[in-house]
Copies of this chain bind each other. A is one copy, B any other.
Amino acid sequence: MLSTMRRSPAKALRGAIDDFAAASPPRFAISVFALLVLLFTALFSLPISSANGAVTPLADSLFSAVSVICVTGLSTVDMATHWSGFGHVLILIGVEIGGIGVLTLASILGLIISRRLGLRSRLRAASDSNPLRTKKGPVAEGQAVRLGEIGGLLATVAISTLVIETAVAVLLFPRLLIQGVPLADSLWQSFYFATMAFTNTGFVPTASGLTPYSHDVWFLGLIMVGVVLGSIGFPVIYAVIRNPRRPRRWPLHVKLTLVTSAILLITGAIAFFVLEFSNPHSLGELDPAQRTLQSVFYSTMTRSGGFSTVDVSQLNGSTLLVTDMLMFIGGGSASTAGGIKVTTLAVLFLAAFAEARGNEEMGAFDRRIPGDVLRIGVSVVLWGATIVAMSSIVILQLTGAPLDFVLFDVISAFGTSGLSTGLTAELPDAGVYVLASTMFFGRVGTVTLAAALAASSRRQLFRRAEERPIVG
């Protein structure tokens, strides 16, 4: 108390935020995101934000704010035409804050967990998979993470983000000029596209969207690079940059993320290629090279990029179901992508493989994975499945729309994918609020849940007798 009183008011405020953040980091993270959403809802409601100078209705401005801050990319209005120039600047700023915020949040929570894990983390610091956790070496048990450290991490993440986005924008820029877009517009649009790609948002700056470039391998390729870099996660980028030529030295998390992402990308592309082969609305009229390009692009976007060169509502039901599964899985941990995350899926399968081979413990790449990681993974999947189920049931009941479309848009919201069958734009207000909640809980909930679970631990005073229920 005394030390607080001797500080300046600014320091006292900072101390108070520190204490609030330290008491429950996940709660703090959720509060920050909720405040950002409220702020952007207010800003989007302003007449100056909309193209026609009118006040945007609450349902639309709230939905847009959630979609921007959670880098989802779904929309109830035509994002390209509804907003003014000021509105588009808001969107770009919101997406940067949201994207960098989630990256930082996930990383900070990882840092906090490693502090909480204390002794255990000290013992395995040498092999720890999260570079963010060990970068300052072993730490004292129970030590809190101070705002100063968060600032350092935030700066690292923000600089990396801007470097990658600028690189993609610089490479997109000449392509836009060639297309005949005026110089200033090309500059703005190329940075807009690059940001929407790396943050895995998927909004487009003009009404024509991707259409002028929908068969262009250079343009689509750059968008894919941006989306993949954003969706693979900061810990992976960090580890690969540090040790680019020695994949064997990469932490387990990095190897698992890269392998699982590659498998999902290839499987998704093959599935799209096969299932849509003769659909005239997607691949039916294209040559083999374009069929391949479009399949790879579509598969990449399900990670949670959200850009689309095809009309999703015209795809086959089988393709929509495959997409549902890919969007539910999402991208890498501590990335701008959503979903349950690729490592979560990997851990579930590794557990099944271990059991099938009769091993007592699961593992991969010559490393053992402790059992509580599986329990966290199961929790995340149950959380995701529950949100998707509840949201789908309510929206089905509200709209009577077909399950194909409802499930697709709900999973797109949960996984912050942003692909849409068009249902989102036609929802009644009640449905808009439900879907906005789905985006928020899908984005913020999944990240904080895993962190909250990993951080909690208490000693058990006595060991209970063991008993095996029959399963299956």
Contact = CB atoms under 8 A, between A and B. Distances in A.
A8 interface: no
B127 A341 contact: no
A472 interface: yes
A285 interface: no
15 contacts: A124-B465, A129-B469, A253-B467, A316-B400, A333-B469, A340-B472, A352-B375, A352-B378, A354-B375, A360-B460, A367-B466, A369-B467, A369-B469, A376-B472, A449-B472
Contact of A378 (B333, B357, B374, B464): B374
Given A318-B397, A402-B317, A351 B368 contact: no
Contact of A379 (B235, B355, B460): B355
Interface stretch (A36-44, A85-93, A142-150, A451-459): A451-459
Interface in A124-140: 124, 127-130
Nearest to A124: B466
A469 B256 contact: yes
A456 B356 contact: yes
Interface stretch (A58-66, A154-162, A201-209, A388-396): A388-396
Interface stretch (A45-53, A188-196, A211-219, A342-350): A342-350
Given A129-B470, A402-B403, A460-B361, A351 B367 contact: no
A262 interface: no
A447 interface: yes
Interface of A: 106, 110, 124, 127-130, 235, 251-253, 256-257, 271, 275, 316-318, 320-322, 325, 333-334, 340-341, 343-344, 346-349, 351-352, 354-363, 366-380, 382-383, 389, 392-394, 396-397, 400-404, 406-407, 446-447, 449-453, 456-458, 460, 463-472
A238 to B, nearest CB: 12
A370 B47 CA distance: 60
Contact of A470 (B110, B458, B466, B472): B110
Contact of A251 (B379, B453, B467): B467
A470 to B, nearest CB: 4
Interface-centre pick from A403, A447, A457, A472 (highest chain B CB count, 10 A): A472
B316 A397 contact: yes
Given A360-B460, A380-B471, A449-B472, A375 B355 contact: yes
Contact of A334 (B367, B374, B470): B470
Contacts of A317: 396-397, 400-403, 406
A351 B334 CA distance: 24
A344 to B, nearest CB: 4
Contacts of A468: 124, 128-130, 252-253, 369-370, 373
A344 B403 CA distance: 26
A447 B470 CA distance: 10
Nearest to A470: B333
A469 B252 contact: yes
Contact of A467 (B252, B320, B451, B456): B252
B127 A321 contact: no
A346 B378 CA distance: 12
B340 A355 contact: no
A431 to B, nearest CB: 13
B380 A472 contact: yes
The 10 closest A-B pairs by CB, nearest first: A450-B472, A358-B456, A352-B379, A318-B396, A333-B470, A380-B472, A367-B467, A403-B404, A253-B469, A318-B397
